[in-house]
Chains A and B, each alone.
Chain A
Amino acid sequence: MRYVDEYRDAELGRALAAEILSTVEPGRHYKVMEVCGGHTHTIYKYGVDDLLPESVELVHGPGCPVCVIPMGRVDDAIAVAMHDGVIFTCFGDMMRVPGGEGTLLDAKASGADIRMVYSPLDALRIARENPERQVVFFAVGFETTAPSTALTLMRAKAEGMRNFTVFCNHVTIVPPLKALLESPDLRLDGFVGPGHVATVVGARPFEFIPSQYGRPIVVSGFEPLDVLQGVHMILRQLAEGRCEVENQYKRVVPYDGNPQALRVLEEVFALRPHFEWRGLGFIAHSGLALNEAYADFDTEVRFDVPGVRVADPKACQCGEVLKGVIKPWECKVFGTACTPERPIGTCMVSSEGACAAYYNFGRFAREKVTVA
């Protein structure tokens, strides 16, 4: 397919792998974090890590929005969905994310009217078609997804809709990266930056990583050659003693992002003082809420949302996986009690979750088997 095959060319991949090999310093071990779950997905789907020297270790970051939703917010969503007369809408991946009291799929089986949508605009259409019902959209995602929620809310307001609200769980990427960089148990040499978040916010917000923390970051695309080239650009910066923001994904990402998208975010949202991240705890100014001008469309204002807090299951090590402290297969329940069919942790639910990526692409048996 045009625009896709160009970035999956095996010959170019081999050439890039050779360049990476010639760039690494003998005896040095490199740890590079891919921030985005989409990169994790690409790495294990195409075996990108198999092309890297053993001295280059890829560490999976917290950039899967489904994976960082705390269980209490899922329970809150279920409580709203169970209200009489509510049509609850969400993206498909959220249906199977376990809260403390089950999943949205369980709630649907119990009679709640829960519907999958591909866009918040679809949720708004459902609200138009059902004026006698209250329609709630479960908004999840980083800055890539938040503009579509914001646009939907602006349309709802312009149309004077009275039966549409948003349960807002949008998060921003910079605060968790700062939290990770402050983490004493994590040493990283560089970052593969989130390409599509950067289409909205640009590459500029990541300048604090080289300037304050002395680590290079390369905003990268999601095809296998993009990821390989992103890793190579990081290693080249390290080899040349440079430390800066580079944009591997120039074909899509303007350095300053999309000003119109930033304006709609500003129009609709306000930063929350704190927001809870699964495995990372509360992070200041990391979550978005609807601002006062959109209070009439805020599920948390219009409904009695219980504000549930649930501790993660003891057996689950999603937090350590999300911080890159352990690999998915090192989790105690990986592939046994926790599988994509019956996930315990969120990293096994989303196809972008590190655990699901390992599992789905058959890469869970990392130990080499020696045949006598």
Chain B
Amino acid sequence: MTSCDDASGHCITCSDEGIAMRVLGSGSDGLASCVDVAGRWTRVAIDLVGPVSAGDLVLAHAGVALVRLDEEALVA
């Protein structure tokens, strides 16, 4: 494992690094503050998912939100 791996041992270049994140708020620079299930806080680009609001869920990879997540589907 390298120091760039995330806490669960994943490699950032690998697609499994996709992380479900909760939006805390979005700025005017195309970035949104997000927190993952482990409480880690980071900013991700939202260009690919459109405007987001606090409370939305996205899947982020390499600093970019790739898809919006449907909360009901996640726990179905």
From the candidates A3, A45, A92, name the one contacting B9 in the complex (CB within 8 A). A45
A317 lies within 8 A of chain B by Cβ:
no
Residues A147 and B66 in contact, CB atoms below 8 Å apart: yes
- Cβ contacts under 8 Å, B62 to chain A: 91, 118-120, 141, 144-145, 148
- Cβ contacts under 8 Å, A6 to chain B: 74-75
CA distance A200 to B67 in the complex (A): 8
> How many A residues face the partner with a CB closer than 8 A?
57
A116 lies within 8 A of chain B by Cβ:
yes
From the candidates A118, A196, A253, A264, name the one contacting B16 in the complex (CB within 8 A). A196
Within 8 A of A (CB), among B21-65: 37-38, 45, 47-50, 59, 61-64
From the candidates B11, B49, B63, name the one contacting A351 in the complex (CB within 8 A). B11
Within 8 A of B (CB), among A137-165: 140-142, 144-145, 147-148, 151
- Cβ contacts under 8 Å, A360 to chain B: 1, 9
Q: Given that A1-B37, A252-B69 are contacting pairs, would A147 and B16 also be in contact in the complex, using a CB cutoff of 8 Å?
A: no
From the candidates B14, B67, B70, B74, name the one contacting A38 in the complex (CB within 8 A). B14
Please tell me the size bucket of the interface on B. Answer: 35 or more
Q: Which residue of A lies closest to B71 (CB)?
A: A3
Residues B14 and A250 in contact, CB atoms below 8 Å apart: no
Q: Which residue of B lies closest to A253 (CB)?
A: B67
Residues A144 and B73 in contact, CB atoms below 8 Å apart: no
Residues A260 and B15 in contact, CB atoms below 8 Å apart: no
A287 lies within 8 A of chain B by Cβ:
no
B75 to chain A, nearest CB (A): 6
Residues B12 and A144 in contact, CB atoms below 8 Å apart: no
- Cβ contacts under 8 Å, B12 to chain A: 91-93, 118
- Cβ contacts under 8 Å, A48 to chain B: none
CA distance A123 to B54 in the complex (A): 27
CA distance A272 to B62 in the complex (A): 23
- Cβ contacts under 8 Å, B38 to chain A: 1
Residues A151 and B48 in contact, CB atoms below 8 Å apart: yes
Residues B48 and A261 in contact, CB atoms below 8 Å apart: yes
A77 to chain B, nearest CB (A): 14
Residues B4 and A91 in contact, CB atoms below 8 Å apart: yes
Residues B66 and A264 in contact, CB atoms below 8 Å apart: no
Residues B16 and A251 in contact, CB atoms below 8 Å apart: no
Residues B63 and A120 in contact, CB atoms below 8 Å apart: yes
From the candidates B13, B66, B69, name the one contacting A200 in the complex (CB within 8 A). B66
B31 to chain A, nearest CB (A): 8
From the candidates B10, B17, B73, B75, name the one contacting A250 in the complex (CB within 8 A). B73
- Cβ contacts under 8 Å, A181 to chain B: none
- Cβ contacts under 8 Å, A147 to chain B: 48, 64, 66
- Cβ contacts under 8 Å, B10 to chain A: 38, 41, 351-352
Residues B11 and A199 in contact, CB atoms below 8 Å apart: no
Q: Given that A3-B20, A118-B4 are contacting pairs, would A194 and B9 also be in contact in the complex, using a CB cutoff of 8 Å?
A: no
**1/0 per position for A215-236, CB-CB distance to B under 8 A?**
0000000100000000000000
- 16 pairs of residues in contact across A and B, judged by CB atoms under 8 Å: A3-B74, A38-B10, A41-B16, A66-B14, A94-B13, A144-B61, A144-B66, A148-B63, A195-B16, A197-B15, A251-B70, A251-B73, A258-B66, A264-B47, A352-B10, A352-B14
Binding site for A on B (CB under 8 A): 1-5, 9-18, 20, 37-38, 45, 47-50, 59, 61-64, 66-67, 69-70, 73-76
Binding site for B on A (CB under 8 A): 1-4, 6, 36-39, 41-42, 45, 63-66, 91-96, 116, 118-122, 140-142, 144-145, 147-148, 151, 194-197, 199-200, 222, 250-254, 258, 260-261, 264, 340, 350-352, 360
Q: A195-B16, A253-B67 are in contact. List 6 more A-B contacts (CB 8 A).
A: A37-B11, A93-B11, A148-B61, A251-B74, A260-B48, A260-B49
